[in-house]
Structure 1
Amino acid sequence: MRGVKAVIETLKAHGAEYLFGVPGSTFVLFAEFAGGDDVKAIPTRGERAAACNGGTESRNGVRLG
């Protein structure tokens, strides 16, 4: 679980507010660790949607999506 927590901490350090991903075993782990932190886990229907959401979020703001 340390790897998952390290990824969440890195996202927080870079100012990311959202974690977009496809619901599944790996995403559930990230969602559980992100739940108590400042990063909100947002499930999407597919990888393309997750990538588009993250890209749009970063283009619309000054932070990573």
Structure 2
Amino acid sequence: MKTIDCLGDMCPIPILKAQKALKLSPSGTTIKVVTDHSCTLESMLNHFKKYEITSTEVINGVWEIFITKS
């Protein structure tokens, strides 16, 4: 699993990083995006609708977003 550290990054930087990682990954791959901005979570959910996305708030204000490429 590839982890993308987006702590401190504002939108659209996390979206662009995730797009690049998904483009270079084969089907079935899951990438993990770590972010500290709630707007990034909402943007990911809206932008990557064709992928399976799960998320968890690991500590207050920090989320791990898992995107699986089908």
Both structures adopt the same fold (TM-score exceeding 0.5): no
TM-score (norm 2): 0.40
More helix by share: 1
More strand by share: 2
TM-score (norm 1): 0.41
